Every structure is written in C-alpha cells, then in structure tokens.
A and B are shown apart, each in its own frame.
Chain A
C-alpha cells in the first residue's frame, strides 16, 4: 500500500478558498490538493460548512476569494467533468436504470458504442444488470442510490463528489455498499472526494482524511490511512485512527 497520493500528480488544487455570506465567514482560507485517483474523505463537526464547501467546489455558488484548479486550469463545470452524488437519491424517476446511467454520456455526445460499453460496465459493477430496465420506483432506496453512483462513475469524472450517500442505511448494508464503491474506485481509478459525518465510514474508505474545524471552517488536520483493504472496523489500528479523528471533532 503506497501512502496516499505519493508519486501521483495533483488533480485538483484548492487555493485559499474563502466564502462569506455578508459578514459571516463560513470558509476561511482553505487550501489542499487532491491527487489523481485519490480517495479523500472529508469529516467535520455538524454544521461546520461542509455543504457550502462542496457547493463551492462544484461552483454551484460563487467564491468570495481563492481558486480551484483542475489539471492546473481554473475549474469550470462546462469544461471539466464534475459528478455529484447527493445524500437524497436523485435518480430521474421517468427514466429506467439504464437510461439514468446513459443520461450524462448522451449529454457529452459520446459515440454510441462507447456509451454502451461504459453503461454495461458500471451497471455490472453496482450489481444491477438484472434491473437495467426497471424504473426507480420499482427499486429499493439503496438500489436507487446505486443507480446514482453508477451514473456518476460512468462519466469518468475529473472529480467525483459524494455527500454522505449512505447516511441512513443500516450498518450491514452500508458496509456492503462501501465495499462496492471501493471496488468501483479501484477498477476505474476515479478521483473521489467523499464527505461524511461518520468517522468510522471515513476510516473505512479513505486513503486520506481531511478534518475540518468548526465555523469559520479551516482544515484542522490531515490523517493518512494506510490500512490494507478490506478493512476491519475492530482492528486496533483502525480503532486508534477512528478515536484520533473523533477526538478532533468531538463536540457532543
């Protein structure tokens, strides 16, 4: 297991990211790099501005100061491929599983044979091959979330942002889906930025964890997780890292 990011080029560079709403400083001069193909988790105390942070990264809202570079160029949603998986399942209800996954690829006007190849691959990776002609309402909530995850990976995004996609699922199912996302990430080499409140989940998934502070939000610490996969939540080293991160954000 190589240490996270070593030897890989910088894919996303965040420089002095600052966001104010009026006089309220929410994001305070945040800088960090994400390496190509890295799995980076972001954790922070409740209400620390994680959503504002993500919305700035995708340029859904304007920055007050700072810049975000992808492959050295200013991030631009029209030029760069940014994919987003929200906490609430966001599959399009009027499209089948396959049509949902095709959607982004058709917008990008990829050739039909490439679309077909990619769609088949990601649908297989999330284990929904038998359900490709189903509509979201015919599926369980966790299956719909996997459709959304397949759709996000399918576009080969420069950066895949995941905002607590497994928030309310039971632990057994969560680990199953987390294993699945790790498998897809390993196979496709996507750069993933995964936001969660759940520190155990962060330690389970991440190569590196960024710990955010209370508002105004700064990067408080960076923790490397070099444990082999699949990881074991009862392993003493796993527990040690989990406790270390918990200590940093604990407010309850």
Chain B
C-alpha cells in the first residue's frame, strides 16, 4: 500500500507554492508557505486544515484563478498560467445562477464552450441523473434544499468534463446528517466516473471517510504538516474502531485554531 501518489504519473504537481497577500496599511500576510504535493491520476486526495487559512487559496491557484507568489502548478505536466477547462470547481458557497434552471446551470460549461445544444443537453441530463435530481431539471435553485443545490454544483462541475475536480468544502453549510448522505453520494459518483479529485475540508471525520490520502496543513501560514494514507476498505464505517483511531491520531496532530 506504500505506492502513494507516485504509483502513476502525477496528475497535479504543486511545487513549493507560496502565496503572500499585501495587507491594508502595509505589511504582508503569508497564507501558503512552500506547499509541495502531488495528486495521482484518479486519486481522491483530501486537503485537511483547521481555521480559515490557505486552503481555498491553494485550490484557486491550482485552478488558475490566482497566481502563486512563488512556485508553480503543473496539470498533466503543463504549467498552469490561468483558468483552464481541465479543472472543474465545486464551490463552498455553491454559486449557482439563481435565474437559471437546474438544467441550464448544469449545461453552462459546455454551452460557453460552444457545444451544440443537443449534445450538451444529453450530457447535462446524464449528470443530473447521476446526482439523483431527475425530475428537477426545470426547478430553480431557490426551490431546492441545500443538499440538492450542492448536487447541482457537482453535476455542473462534472458536465464540463474536467480532468480534475476541485471541491472546496462543498458540504460545509449542510447539517451533519445531510452531510453523511452527500459524502456517500460523492464517493458513488467518483467510483463511477473515476476522476482525480482534490477535496478541501476542515472536518476530520469527513476527510477520513472520503480520502485515499489526506494532506494535513498547519494553521496560518499553511504548510504541509503530515500525510496520511487511509487504506480502510469502502464503504467505510464512521464508528469502526480503526476509523475512530485514525480520527484521533489526526486530531492530535491538528492545530487548534480558536
């Protein structure tokens, strides 16, 4: 089980990423410091970190939405210089277009890329079925529950055919039970679609449930603090003694951010 992220060629490589923001009134804030990691093809990698420092910035840099201050990101060996369709993002705030229906939201990516209507409809319908929202194609976001909205966000990200899916605390706003349900869903979809996933969370239980591998970050500035390979079979059991042991081990190593 020791093959790690290098068992195949890396899908994503982050080389010594540092990000420094200028502060109002002078001074600087370093949110990422010398973060290096690789993600293997089809791996489910969870980035776990306490507090509010660095995790989203790291995803934004990988997606090409922000440049790093130092270091570089490679996707399939090519340096990331700006936003690119190989990377899909599921946002914490869900970020659906409120004036568009479920179907129109999901087909947005292919539509912007000029995919013919029939083809993109077919594809959107496939992903809507995959996330279990058939029958809601013509509903608007405000008519859906929080869990359903995030399903739309996931379908929209997949529908654009990204090679890599970045998920930024997608279940952060959901209650504990809806969260369990969504965690199962996201694994089912990942197992069916086999895509490289980078999933950010501050929830240790969620990380241990989902991940092939967990990269634990320190609190501000975020550095890579530890790495855990989770080799429990799936579906995992939240109350299995080994699962709880892993949780305790990670919790003991996590910074407490008040």
* Residues in chain A within 8 A of chain B (CB atoms): 45-46, 127, 140, 142-143, 164, 167-173, 175-176, 196-199, 201, 233-234, 239, 242-243, 249, 251-252
CA distance A173 to B254 in the complex (A): 10
Is the beta-carbon distance between B203 and A171 smaller than 8 angstroms? yes
For residue B203, which residues in chain A have a CB less than 8 angstroms away from its CB? 170-171
CB < 8 Å: which of B172, B175, B205, B241 contacts A197?
Answer: B175
B173 sits at the interface (CB 8 A): yes
Segment touching A, from B39-47, B81-89, B93-101, B244-252:
B244-252
Q: Which residues of B contact A243 (CB under 8 A)?
A: 239
Q: With A46-B175, A168-B172, A199-B176 given, is the CB distance from A234 to B248 under 8 Å?
A: yes
The residues of B that contact A199 with a CB separation of less than 8 Å are 176
Query: Is B204 among interface residues, defined by CB-CB distance under 8 A?
Result: yes
Contacts A140-B52, A239-B244, A249-B177 aside, 16 further interface pairs with beta carbons under 8 A come to A127-B258, A140-B258, A142-B258, A168-B173, A170-B257, A171-B205, A171-B247, A171-B251, A172-B254, A172-B256, A173-B50, A173-B256, A234-B245, A234-B248, A252-B178, A252-B181
| Contact of B138 with A by CB under 8 A | no
Is the pair A197, B181 in contact by a Cβ cutoff of 8 Å?
no
Contact A198 B176 (CB under 8 A): yes
B244's partner among A167, A175, A234 (CB-CB below 8 A) is: A234
B residues apposed to A, CB below 8 Å: 50-52, 172-173, 175-178, 180-181, 184, 202-205, 239, 241, 244-245, 247-248, 251, 254-258
Which of B178, B184, B258: most chain A CB closer than 10 A?
B258
13 contacts between A and B (CB under 8 A): A45-B177, A46-B175, A127-B258, A140-B52, A140-B257, A170-B203, A172-B204, A172-B255, A172-B256, A176-B256, A176-B258, A197-B175, A252-B177
| CB atoms of A233 and B244 under 8 A apart | yes
Residue of A nearest to B243 (CB): A234
A78 CB to closest chain B CB (Å) equals: 33
Nearest opposing residue in chain B for A140, CB measure:
B258
- Docked pose: A174 CA to B177 CA in angstroms: 17
Contact B176 A171 (CB under 8 A): no
- The closest CB in chain B to the CB of A199 belongs to B176
CB contact between B50 and one of A45, A164, A170, A196 (< 8 Å): that residue: A170
List A contacts of B52 (CB < 8 A). Answer: 140
Q: How far is the CA of A172 from the CA of B253 in the complex (A)?
A: 10
A196 to B180, CA, bound (A): 15
How far apart are the CA atoms of A243 and B239 in the complex, in Å?
Answer: 8
Q: Give bound CA distance, A1 to B247, whole Å.
A: 28
State the CA gap A127–B256 with chains docked (Å): 15
Assess the A234–B50 pair: CB atoms within 8 A.
no
**What 5 A-B pairs have minimum CB-CB distances, sorted nearest first?**
A252-B181, A170-B202, A234-B244, A197-B175, A198-B176
How far is A42 from B244 in the complex, measured between Cα atoms in Å? 24
* Alpha-carbon distance A201/B203, docked complex (angstroms): 14
Bound complex: CA of A168 vs CA of B171, how far in Å? 9
Q: Which residue of A lies closest to B185 (CB)?
A: A252
Most buried by A among B173, B175, B184: B175
**Once the chains bind, are A197 and B254 in contact (CB under 8 Å)?**
no
Q: How far is the CA of A196 from the CA of B175 in the complex (A)?
A: 9
User: Are A251 and B245 touching (Cβ within 8 A)?
Assistant: no
> Is there an interface contact between B258 and A234, defined as CB atoms closer than 8 Å?
no
Q: Are A197's CB and B248's CB within 8 A?
A: no
Q: Please give me the residue from chain B that is nearest to A252 by CB atom.
A: B181
Q: Considering the chains assembled together, what is the distance between the CA atoms of A242 and B244 in angstroms? A: 13
Measured between alpha carbons, how far is A252 from B174 in the docked complex, in Å? 14
In-complex Cβ contact of A46 among B177, B202, B239 (8 A): B177
A120 to B71, CA, bound (A): 49
